[in-house]
């Protein structure tokens, strides 16, 4: 079978189907499987593996193999931060697996990407007003979203000069 790519936290049915009462079914490994002794079972695991179903019938053993790749798309954005006027900051996505598409955006849906291409995990920003930046990491249909808010702090320095005259 082709490798089945599945987003972490989701479940799916695997197996050749059918359930002959004269056959004995045994999956290996059994981790993440709901019914390890049936022809079709539900996979709800959290790690990639190659699952093998041994089908014993009339003294013969046949094997059905299903590789599963669990795509755990996890990204991290920097913590909310306050910047001084006109200060720039590099925002970097971290903790993601190779092959993850990275999009920095000003909108939650990522419709206005700020990074030049999806292989760039960092952008340089210089917000003049409080701004929320949204980060989306995705592989296929699997994605993770985070945000970070940058506040702009205006530093005002006032001073006065007094001249005193003698009388």
3-state secondary structure of 164: coil
DSSP 8-class letter at 128: S
* Residue 84 · residue 156 · CB < 8 Å: no
Q: What is the pLDDT of residue 150?
A: 87
Q: What is the pLDDT of residue 154?
A: 55
Q: How far apart are CA 70 and CA 6, in angstroms?
A: 5
Q: What is the pLDDT of residue 108?
A: 92
Q: What is the pLDDT of residue 71?
A: 85
Q: What is the pLDDT of residue 34?
A: 95
Q: What is the pLDDT of residue 76?
A: 78
Q: What is the pTM of this model?
A: 0.64
Query: Cα angle at 7 between 5 and 11, to 5 degrees?
Result: 90
Q: What is the pLDDT of residue 28?
A: 97
Q: How far apart are CA 134 and CA 113, in angstroms?
A: 9
Mode of pairing for the β-strands spanning 60-71 and 4-7 = parallel
**Which parts of the chain have pLDDT scores under 70?**
85-86, 153-167
Q: What is the pLDDT of residue 139?
A: 86
Q: What is the pLDDT of residue 22?
A: 94
Q: What is the pLDDT of residue 165?
A: 57
Q: What is the pLDDT of residue 17?
A: 87
Q: What is the pLDDT of residue 157?
A: 47
């Amino acid at each position: 079978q082709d490798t089945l790519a599945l987003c972490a936290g989701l479940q799916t049915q695997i197996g050749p189907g059918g359930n002959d009462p004269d056959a004995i079914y045994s999956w290996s490994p059994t981790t993440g499987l709901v019914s390890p002794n049936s022809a079709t079972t539900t996979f709800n695991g959290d790690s990639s593996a190659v699952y093998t179903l041994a089908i014993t019938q009339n003294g013969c053993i046949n094997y059905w193999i299903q590789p599963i790749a669990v795509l755990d798309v996890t990204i991290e954005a920097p913590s909310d931060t306050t910047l001084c006027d006109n200060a720039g900051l590099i925002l970097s996505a971290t903790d993601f697996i190779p092959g993850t598409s990275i999009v920095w955006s000003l909108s939650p849906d990522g419709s206005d990407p700020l990074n030049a291409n999806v292989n760039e995990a960092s952008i340089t920003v210089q917000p003049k007003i409080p701004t929320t930046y949204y980060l989306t990491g995705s592989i296929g249909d699997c994605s993770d979203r985070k945000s970070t808010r940058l506040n702009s702090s205006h530093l005002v320095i006032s001073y006065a000069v007094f001249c005193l005259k003698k009388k």
